[in-house]
Amino acid sequence: MISRSPATQAALLALLAGAWAGVLSGAEGPDWSRLRADHPRLYFNADTWPAVQARAEGPCREHTAAIRKTADNPQPPSREWSAIERPPRRPGSAVDAYDWGDALVATALVQRLEPDPARLGRIREMLQASLDYYHACFAQGKSVNWYARSRMGWLCALDWTWNDLPEDLRVDLARGFLKHVDEALHGPSKQRQNRGGVRTGYYGDDNLALFTGLALQGTGADDAMAMRLLNEGFGTYQKVIAHRRQMADDDGGAASATLGYSVGEYPFAEWDYLHCMASAAGLDCREELAYVVGFSNYILWNLLPGNLEFGYGDTPHLHNRMPSTWMHTHLSHLMHFYGALRPEDAALAATLRERFTPFVSSAAWCVYPFLLTDLEKAPPPLDLGVLPAARFFPAMGQVFMRSGAGPENTYLMLSVDGQTGQHRHYDAGHFTLYRQGFLALDTGTRHGNTDNLQNYFAQTIAHNCVLIRMPGEKPSRYWNGTVAAQAGGQNLQVGSKVVAFETDTHSSYVAMDLAPVYAAEKCASYTRQVLFVMPDHVVVMDRVVSTDPGYAKTWLLHLANEPRLQDGTLQAEQGDGRIFCRTMLPADATFDLVGGPGREFLVEGVNYAITDGPSEVIIKNEYTGIKKLEMAEVPELMGRWRLEVRPGAARAEDVFLHLLQVGGHGLAAMSAATVRQEDTQAVLTFATAAGQVTLSLPTAGPVRGHLRLERDGAVVVDRDLTREVTPQAGLAIGR
């Protein structure tokens, strides 16, 4: 991570985008003279097909057999995105009007491998029936699907069987699809339509433009429209790529820090672009998209023992397992595309891939394994050597700290800084702490799309943050419906800043300015300092100044299970882990434990239960697949209890100082700890496995501190905490 100002970043992105555009185009746009005139064009062409076919008949033959089963008995989708009045079958057809796109891509692929007149006839009818369905959806003001994937399947089927279809039929189908895509991009908005944007997953309707142009330009269906879509799609892709390059920076990252998105459907936008720009237009775009290699480094830091993750952002908190369905596929793509260009990054992808079970769909994206013709040429798995103890991903807005990489190590993730609010909560300063279990949680859920999502789950109150309650404050909006109350939280998702960061073999440290994400009318200043003393102690210092002493402040710690609280020290467990938390300041602190059945998600007197059914917005917009949840109890990882700490008297300036210690169930008691105040310094002393720690932190003035660590009578560390952000870049692996 190298710090750059927003203006510098914008200038660099413009320079990179301009340089790439200059390679591909003249002043008016891309030069598409290299676009193939023949078919197929998408994912493979006549020149690359023999290698694709060889993989299908060789190392991927089991996958081919699975696809053949789908092709031999194609089924309509088990669930439709929109409920519509279905158009009738075409005369003489045996196929009903559905979106057959996922089945079509499998059937057309098998048709290329094993030509069969009967199968070709079925493909023809499925293409026609799907197109009728697409037009019917739009005629009734409904969207086809949130994802463009199935219509990409339709387009592939037409492209891959183009040479086998009568000319009048294929041109008519192409013309109908061009009309559909044009209306999707430029017509009136449809119910539940995903027009997304360049900062999102880019898997909605807009994603169709480039690939429709690549497949259908020069076919005679409507070349003017195909060229418009081609240029429009390419132009939008350049913006998507520029944004994702900025998010990756030199550390690695993705378009969202919510892993269900960033390791789910999001990367397909890059893989489709790389595959199809090469197969259709003869353009090798790997250098343009070389930022994707940092994806592996970002996954590495998000991984917890047992292939768990921290549960950040819009993660539903059912189990906090690392999303794995497409992980093997994504890492395989990195190895295939960048094995020669970025061997160390490709080797890291190979290392991570060993932790995930391959999943290959027999319909959606079923062509991918056949395309990875360079996969076996990629470098072997990488020896990770010695990783740094902490990593700051500034674009993603996260700091990770760890004491090691084993099942009994301590792992800490903090939410701060960042450039995007994509599926991000009002959670600046939040920390999730894992040690043999989730001991300090990110709570609530999006599961079931209940009012818990926007009223609790996404709000500051669901996180390990500080609330500043200003009466009458406007609620902070979030998707899924109306937010009833602000409850003292933040009003911006982006704006906090890391002002200091460092790591060494003994400790990791971060200091944050959190005031920018709270309303200026209530928060004059707010800094949080977090010091992780390895292997198992965390110090959290909050200095909060409100504009009015009457604006009550509350320090929050969220827990999976009911804690015990005695004399300012809390104890709780989850899994095989145990946490102790001791409030050192304020000296007059008062405590409340909130939780238990019917009180897990309490906000301003209202408990947003997860079994209350979908929100009004979900019901109004006819989300047919979302039903009322039936759960006997709240799952642990959604959080069942929280500790609330408040000053004993109203003050404008307050300091919260907390010491946390984690371990297994064998950790019987918390380490001895004392605090004394010297003028504007809080001096905290406590015992750790590494030695005796003395930490001095100012309670006013500049954000700084001093750390002293003594072991066996010797001074191991005696230095000031940094006041700068230590740069990191690449994998930062020590040997």
Confirm whether 707 is domain-assigned: no
In this structure, the answer to whether residues 336 and 445 fall within a common structural domain is no
Mean pLDDT to the nearest integer, 344-363: 95
Confirm whether 716 is domain-assigned: no
Query: What pLDDT, in 10s, does the model give residues 152-198?
Result: 999 999 999 999 999 999 999 999 999 999 999 999 999 999 998 89
Residue ending a domain, choose from 653, 670, 687: 670
**Rounded-to-integer distance, Cα 709 and Cα 694, Å:** 6
pLDDT at 21: 42
Q: For helices 268-281 and 208-216, what crossing angle results, to 10°? A: 20
In this structure, the answer to whether residues 370 and 410 fall within a common structural domain is no
pTM beyond 0.75, yes or no: yes
CATH of the domain at 333: 1.50.10.100
Give the number of other CB atoms < 10 A from CB of residue 319.
Answer: 12
Reduced to 3 states, what is the DSSP secondary structure of residue 128?
A: helix
Residue ending a domain, choose from 646, 670, 694: 670
pLDDT at 9: 41
Q: Between vectors from CA 357 to CA 356 and to CA 362, what angle results, nearest 5°?
A: 130
In this structure, the answer to whether residues 355 and 488 fall within a common structural domain is no
Query: What pLDDT, in 10s, does the model give residues 111-122?
Result: 999 999 999 999
Alpha carbon 473 to chain centroid, angstroms: 30
Domain span including residue 203: 12-377
Q: What does the DSSP assignment read for 181-222?
A: HHHHHHS---BT-----TTS---SGGGHHHHHHHHHTTSSS-
In this structure, the answer to whether residues 275 and 364 fall within a common structural domain is yes
In this structure, the answer to whether residues 116 and 168 fall within a common structural domain is yes
Tell me the three-class secondary structure of 45-100, residue by residue: CCCCHHHHHHHHHCCCHHHHHHHHHHHHCCCCCCCCCCCCCCCCCCCCCCCCCCCC
Q: What is the DSSP letter of 142?
A: B
Confirm whether 443 is domain-assigned: yes
In this structure, the answer to whether residues 346 and 435 fall within a common structural domain is no
In this structure, the answer to whether residues 345 and 236 fall within a common structural domain is yes
Reduced to 3 states, what is the DSSP secondary structure of residue 403?
A: coil
Residues 6+ apart with CB under 8 A from 587: none
Residues 6+ apart with CB under 8 A from 272: 152, 207, 211
**Rounded-to-integer distance, Cα 531 and Cα 697, Å:** 11
Confirm whether 262 is domain-assigned: yes
In this structure, the answer to whether residues 73 and 217 fall within a common structural domain is yes
pLDDT at 342: 96
Query: What pLDDT, in 10s, does the model give residues 9-43?
Result: 444 444 444 444 443 433 345 789 999 999 999 99
In this structure, the answer to whether residues 328 and 475 fall within a common structural domain is no
Burial 691-714 (b: 16+ CB within 10 A, else e): bbbbbbbbbeeebebebbbeeeee
In this structure, the answer to whether residues 371 and 404 fall within a common structural domain is no
Confirm whether 697 is domain-assigned: no
Confirm whether 251 is domain-assigned: yes
Confirm whether 618 is domain-assigned: yes
CATH of the domain at 463: 2.70.98.70
User: How many domains is the chain built from?
Assistant: 2
The residue written with tokens 């789908």 in the block is 70
User: What are the backbone angles phi and psi of residue 511, rounded to the nearest 5°?
Assistant: -125, 140
For 49, 385, 583, the CA distances from 154, given in Å and listed in that order, are 19, 46, 60
User: What are the backbone angles phi and psi of residue 349, rounded to the nearest 5°?
Assistant: -60, -40
**Rounded-to-integer distance, Cα 572 and Cα 534, Å:** 20
Confirm whether 541 is domain-assigned: yes
In this structure, the answer to whether residues 366 and 404 fall within a common structural domain is no
In this structure, the answer to whether residues 478 and 370 fall within a common structural domain is no
Query: What pLDDT, in 10s, does the model give residues 566-590?
Result: 999 999 999 999 999 999 999 999 9
pLDDT at 305: 98
Mean pLDDT to the nearest integer, 487-507: 98
